[in-house]
Copies of this chain bind each other. A is one copy, B any other.
Amino acid sequence: MWGMIDLRSVRVHLYAMSEVRPIACLDESPKRRAVLEAAAQLFLSQGYGAVSMDVVAREAGVSKATLYAHFPGKDKLFATIVASNCARLQRLAEEIPVEHATDMRATLVTMGTEWLAFFLQPRTLGLYRVVMAESPRFPELAAAFYEAGPHKLKEWMVNWIAAETASGHLRAPDARTAAEHFLAMLRTSVFFRATLDLPPAPTDADTAQVAEAAADTFLRAFGP
């Protein structure tokens, strides 16, 4: 066995304090906030092209003039929405809580379940969908998305696996590949179908089952 490691209530801040900027965290103006909320909801669920500025204004309960007073144009508004949602991704990767974990399998299952649940949130899926669809038009947004989310998460896991291997809880000489594979095994057909918005929507049980299966295969390959 790989010994009991208790990660209860550990909060890892890996890239903590590196470029932490308050991305429009101040509720500068209630109208501005209303616009941002409405636009986020619309853009992430319907995509860039399908949303008109008239609808954003109406949905935000704001006049078009006010909308254009706060944002210089549709593209900038979209970029703001995407950037602030990338910041959400980054928070997940920077502040990874591993709680109630009693052994390696439980730790992996906990991490996997939590991350997959996050990936499967409509907001996260919507962000992925819209960034992917608009990557030709907004390549810098695609890069920002990847950096803030998948990349940061992977780098965290590479370091974690390397540390666990060093302490004998895992046997993964190539930590990078092991991390890639664990994260990839969370993105099975459940995730794939969700990206395509195919019913039925995954349940919590599905999420847990995928994480457990990933943990099991991972430990078969990289357990000590």
Contacts and interface: CB of A to CB of B under 8 A. Distances in A.
A181 interface: yes
B181 A213 contact: yes
A213 B180 contact: yes
Contacts of A214: 181
A143 interface: yes
Q: How many copies does the complex hold?
A: 2
Contacts of A70: none
A196 B141 CA distance: 10
A147 B76 CA distance: 37
Contacts of A222: 217, 220
Interface string A41-56: 0000111011000000
B142 A198 contact: yes
Interface string A128-143: 0111110111010011
A150 interface: yes
Interface residues of A, number: 46
A184 B188 contact: yes
A137 B214 CA distance: 33
Interface string A168-200: 000000100110110111111100110111100
Given A137-B50, A221-B220, A150 B198 contact: no
A154 B197 contact: no
A133 B49 CA distance: 10
Given A45-B136, A131-B196, A213-B181, A187 B187 contact: yes
Contacts of A184: 184-188
Interface centre among A129, A133, A177, A184 (most CB of B within 10 A): A184
14 contacts: A45-B136, A46-B136, A47-B49, A47-B133, A129-B132, A135-B197, A142-B198, A143-B196, A146-B192, A180-B213, A181-B188, A181-B217, A184-B186, A221-B221
